[in-house]
Amino acid sequence: MAIANFTPPSIDITGVRSFQQLRDAVMRFLPNLNQYMINYFQLTLLPSLNSALYSYGTDIASATTISPTNFIHAVSGTATITTINSPIGFAGPLMLYAKDGFAVNTAGNITPAATVVAGHGILLAYHPAVAKWVGVTS
């Protein structure tokens, strides 16, 4: 994911010779800086982050250990998943959609155990303090 460089405008203090002139230059500069920051964060940074965080990743084959890279992954196969490797620095949700049906158990870093039938999904959230993927249940 490439994110545009943060290059805010600079203040022009050419010809400033007094405190009053400096204050006036700052007062002209601040609205431009504010607009740049709004545009950068709302129109550039936030959509880039959201597309990475809430996008659909490649299918994952069910196995004892899986390594997701995106928010949503389809899982093929029927093996029981016991451990989910988290991307470095990741804390947040993960949706696994069962193509064939799979199970998760508590032998690794997942709680509680669950069976996910084909065509259904499971929502998990990583809790870094306990180093576990916690299933969201009703």
Same domain, 60 and 122: yes
Tell me what pLDDT residue 54 has: 66
Burial of residue 99 (number of CB atoms within 10 Å: 0-12, 13-18, 19+): middle
Could you tell me how far CA 98 lies from the centroid of its own chain? Answer: 22
Are residue 65 and residue 104 in the same domain, yes or no? yes
Amino acid 136: pLDDT: 83
Query: Both 75 and 102 in a single domain?
Result: yes
Q: What is the pLDDT of residue 42?
A: 80
**Containing structural domain, residue 28:** 17-53
- Report the 10 Å Cβ neighbour count for 126: 19
Q: pLDDT tens digits, the chain, 138 residues: what are they?
A: 566 788 999 999 999 999 999 999 999 999 999 999 988 888 877 666 655 556 788 999 999 999 998 889 999 999 999 999 987 767 678 999 999 999 999 999 999 999 999 999 999 998 888 889 999 865
Asked whether residue 91 falls in the same domain as residue 111, the answer is yes
pLDDT given for residue 53 in this prediction: 58
Q: Residue holding tokens 């890279």?
A: 69
Q: Which residue type does 11 have?
A: I
- Helix (H) / strand (E) containing 36: helix 19-38
| CB-based contact 99:59 (threshold 8 Å) | yes
How many structural domains comprise the chain?
A: 2
Residue 119 domain flag? yes
Provide the 3-class DSSP secondary structure of residue 76: strand
The predicted structure's pLDDT at residue 60: 96
Same domain, 60 and 128: yes
pTM attached to this predicted model: 0.63
Strand partners, 125: 93, 134
Kindly state the helix (H) or strand (E) to which residue 48 belongs, with its residue range.
helix 46-53
